[in-house]
Amino acid sequence: MGLKSNLHNLKEKYKGTKMAPAFNAIHTFLYLPNETTHNGTHIKAADDLKRTMNTVIMAMVPCLIFGMFNAGYQHHLALGSIEAAEGFLGSTFWTWDNLVIGIWKVLPLVIVSYGVGLLIEFIFAVIKGHEVEEGYLVTGMLVPLIVPVDLPLWMLAVAVAFGVVIGKEVFGGTGMNILNPALTIRAFLFFAYPTWMSGDKVWVHGAVERAGTADAISGETILGSYAQSQDVVYNYADMFFGLIPGSIGETSKLLIIFGALFLIFTKVGSWRIILSTLLGALAMGLIFNGVVDAGLITSSSKFYGLMSVPFWQHLIIGSILFGAVYMATDPVTAAQTNKGKWIYGFLIGFISIMIRVFNPAYPEGVFLAILLMNVFAPTIDHYVVQGNVKKRMKRLKVKTA
């Protein structure tokens, strides 16, 4: 075991030095450390944070791969060089040409996201002298999945730096942050570079540079079409399978559902949050449908387009499903009590659809809804825990009375 003992000797050599956390981060990536328990429990369960985070990443990989194919597919489709694929297994979708474009566009995003983010994590770990926490492994994967394909890399780098430092490190690093770091990054991009994050030009590779020329192509998302009360050109199957323009990883509802089932099965993701988010979205959708049916909002209103969308369709357009499965379930920023998770999720779904309908300029409300509820999650928990505290107080009063 040459490598093992060599690395062990190196670890001993660097023990206590400034660079130890950086070295250990790489070492523990290769080998589960040789640490043993002291007093307390003498045995420990098999899971550590790396394994947990790795599980989440595994659940996202199908979305990433699909996103690569879809990036190429949308590009070629918009250029008119291929026919529309019929269904999920359509012959013009899973092609080498599509994948090449996807790899060229998406892989750099992944590399920049991980590179910049992990660099900052390492720097902070070395400065503060703690181990490198695994939180960014998931964030770094989430970020490329929730941005438009043509996003310039430098913007991503700036946003990641901002998101990791302001969204996480200033609060004390992994486990202490209030806002979901991936969403902080997206919010930063959205407000700093709105032209690259919304509109009808950014969702398909090549659309921006061709804008205004004779070859202009449109990459309107479904939400955009609805918001402008235009006809939607995609059918339900396309929406569900994900053959539509959108952020890289969010389009395929089928794969997101697989990811959700995997997360729930492994007990890594909270089924309470996922389920209640979807219930909240359906509830709000139903309310809007009711409003439209009652004739309170007519087709002359600018809200009519999205309000009249049948409630169940909200789940297969936009990124509500992706947000519910991969973002709302972030355990650090979500509510931490089981009862709180129900409330937290429900409100995310509810508010997502509300923002979606009332904000036609940018109809994707999920990330704003999650960030908003991140802020309120401690409050929800507080009241849930107070319930327990009150029960204890009541017990005491009964005794003394």
Q: Considering the complex, what minimum distance in angstroms separates the CB of residue 176 from other proteins?
A: 7
- Residue 338 as a binder of other proteins (CB under 8 A): the answer is yes
Q: Considering the complex, what minimum distance in angstroms separates the CB of residue 175 from other proteins?
A: 3
Identified binder of other proteins from the candidate list 15, 47, 111, 375, rule CB under 8 A: 47
- Residue 176 as a binder of other proteins (CB under 8 A): the answer is yes
- Residue 268 as a binder of other proteins (CB under 8 A): the answer is yes
Convert 50-83 into a string of H (helix), E (strand) and C (coil).
Answer: HHHHHHHHHHHHHHHHHHHHHHHHHHHHHHCCCC
- Residue 108 as a binder of other proteins (CB under 8 A): the answer is no
Q: How far apart are CA 194 and CA 91, in angstroms?
A: 35
- Which C-beta is closer to other proteins: that of 252 or that of 270? 270
- Residue 178 as a binder of other proteins (CB under 8 A): the answer is no
Identified binder of other proteins from the candidate list 76, 105, 253, 341, rule CB under 8 A: 341
Q: What x-and-dash track marks residues 50-69 binding other proteins by CB under 8 A?
A: xxx-xx--------------
60 close to 144: Cβ distance less than 8 angstroms: no
- Which C-beta is closer to other proteins: that of 41 or that of 299? 41
Q: How far apart are CA 146 and CA 148, in angstroms?
A: 7
- Residue 129 as a binder of other proteins (CB under 8 A): the answer is no
43 burial level (CB within 10 Å; 0-12, 13-18, 19+): exposed
- Which C-beta is closer to other proteins: that of 29 or that of 104? 29
Q: How far apart are CA 106 and CA 252, in angstroms?
A: 16
Q: Considering the complex, what minimum distance in angstroms separates the CB of residue 387 from other proteins?
A: 10
- Which C-beta is closer to other proteins: that of 130 or that of 302? 130
Identified binder of other proteins from the candidate list 2, 12, 16, 42, rule CB under 8 A: 42
Identified binder of other proteins from the candidate list 334, 355, 366, 373, rule CB under 8 A: 334
308 close to 111: Cβ distance less than 8 angstroms: no
Identified binder of other proteins from the candidate list 2, 12, 16, 40, rule CB under 8 A: 40
Candidate ranges 291-299, 347-355, 368-376, 391-399; the one touching other proteins (CB under 8 A) = 391-399
255 close to 63: Cβ distance less than 8 angstroms: yes
254-286 core/surface letters (b: 16 or more CB in 10 A; e: else):
bbbeebbebbbeeebbbbbbbbbbbebbbebbe
Candidate ranges 65-73, 158-166, 193-201, 337-345; the one touching other proteins (CB under 8 A) = 337-345
**Closest-CA residue to 345 (of 274, 268, 271):** 274
156 burial level (CB within 10 Å; 0-12, 13-18, 19+): buried
- Which C-beta is closer to other proteins: that of 95 or that of 336? 336
339 close to 299: Cβ distance less than 8 angstroms: no
DSSP state, 325? I
- Residue 180 as a binder of other proteins (CB under 8 A): the answer is no
- Residue 33 as a binder of other proteins (CB under 8 A): the answer is yes
Query: What token pair was written down for 10?
Result: 């190196």
Q: Specify the 3-state DSSP secondary structure of 350.
A: helix
- Residue 173 as a binder of other proteins (CB under 8 A): the answer is yes
- Residue 44 as a binder of other proteins (CB under 8 A): the answer is yes
Interface contacts to other proteins, rule CB under 8 A: 4, 7-8, 24, 28-52, 54-55, 131, 133-135, 172-176, 265-268, 270, 331-332, 334, 336-338, 341, 381, 385, 388-389, 391-393, 395-396, 399
